[in-house]
Amino acid sequence: MSKKEHILNLLSEESVQDRLKSSDVNNTEEQRELIDLYDGDETQLEQDVSLMRQLRFKHASMKEEEIHSEWGALNKRLSKGRGIQLANIWSTVQRIAAILIIPLLITSIYFYTQYNTMDQHINKVAQIEHTVYAPLGGKTMVVLPDGSRVWLNAGSELKYPQEFNLEQREVELSGEAFFDVEKMDIPMLVKAGEMDVKVFGTEFNVYAYPNEDILETQLVSGKVSVISSNAKGKRVSTPLIPGRQAVYSKQKKHVVVSNIVNLKHVAGWRNNLFAFKDEPFKRILNTIERNYNVEIVLEDETIGEASFNGIISSMAIERVMEIFAYSLPITYEIEKVNGEDDFTRQKITIKRDRSRTIKK
| Same domain for 281 and 261 | no
| Same domain for 137 and 86 | no
Last residue of a domain, one of 230, 265, 300: 265
In-domain check, residue 111? no
In tens, the pLDDT along 277-324 reads 999 999 999 999 999 999 999 999 999 999 999 999 989 999 999 999
The predicted structure's pLDDT at residue 121: 53
Is the pLDDT confidence value at 222 over 90? Answer: yes
| Same domain for 91 and 162 | no
SS3 201: coil
| Same domain for 56 and 141 | no
| Same domain for 143 and 27 | no
Nearest to 134 by CA among 152, 150, 119: 152
DSSP-assigned beta bridge partners for residue 266: none
| Same domain for 186 and 135 | yes
In CATH, what number is assigned to the domain containing residue 302? Answer: 3.55.50.30
* pTM of the predicted structure, to 2 decimals: 0.65
Largest CA distance in the chain: 132
| Same domain for 280 and 253 | no
Between 12 and 189, whose confidence is greater? 189
Is-contact 183 191, C-beta < 8 A? no
pLDDT-derived band at 132 (thresholds 50, 70, 90) equals very high
The predicted structure's pLDDT at residue 252: 93
In-domain check, residue 73? yes
- Residue-range definition of the domain harbouring residue 151: 129-265
* 295-298 vs 344-352, strand pairing mode: parallel
Query: What is the rounded average pLDDT for all residues in the chain?
Result: 80
User: For residue 41, which phi and psi values (nearest 5 degrees)?
Assistant: -85, 85
Residue 1 CB: number of other CB atoms within 10 A? 7
Last residue of a domain, one of 265, 281, 306: 265
In-domain check, residue 360? no
Is the pLDDT confidence value at 6 over 50? Answer: yes
In CATH, what number is assigned to the domain containing residue 251? Answer: 2.60.120.1440
| Same domain for 247 and 146 | yes
Residue 189 CB: number of other CB atoms within 10 A? 15
SS3 76: helix
In-domain check, residue 215? yes
What is the crossing angle of helices 42-57 and 29-37, to 10°? 110
Is the pLDDT confidence value at 12 over 80? Answer: no
| Same domain for 277 and 255 | no
Between 4 and 182, whose confidence is greater? 182
CA 7 to chain CA centroid, Å, is 64
| Same domain for 283 and 204 | no
**How far, in Å, CA of 137 to CA of 155, rounded?**
8
In-domain check, residue 312? yes
What Å distances lie between residue 22 and 17, 18, 30, 53, 81, CA to CA?
Answer: 9, 7, 13, 14, 32
Last residue of a domain, one of 265, 285, 306: 265
Is-contact 307 278, C-beta < 8 A? yes
In tens, the pLDDT along 330-355 reads 999 999 887 666 678 899 999 999 88
In-domain check, residue 358? no
* 214-221 vs 203-208, strand pairing mode: antiparallel
Q: Minimum mean pLDDT among 25-39, 53-67, 194-208: which range? A: 53-67
The predicted structure's pLDDT at residue 83: 45
In-domain check, residue 120? no
In-domain check, residue 91? yes
Length of the chain: 360
| Same domain for 190 and 69 | no
Is-contact 146 168, C-beta < 8 A? no
In tens, the pLDDT along 254-277 reads 999 999 989 989 999 999 999 999
- Total structural domains within the chain: 3
| Same domain for 253 and 134 | yes
Mean pLDDT of 10-36: 58
Q: What ranges make up the beta strands (E) of the chain? A: 129-134, 140-143, 149-152, 156-161, 169-180, 188-192, 195-199, 203-208, 214-221, 224-229, 235-240, 244-249, 254-259, 273-280, 295-298, 307-313, 330-338, 344-352
The predicted structure's pLDDT at residue 85: 45
In angstroms, the first-to-last Cα distance of the chain is 112
Is the pLDDT confidence value at 187 over 60? Answer: yes
The predicted structure's pLDDT at residue 60: 43
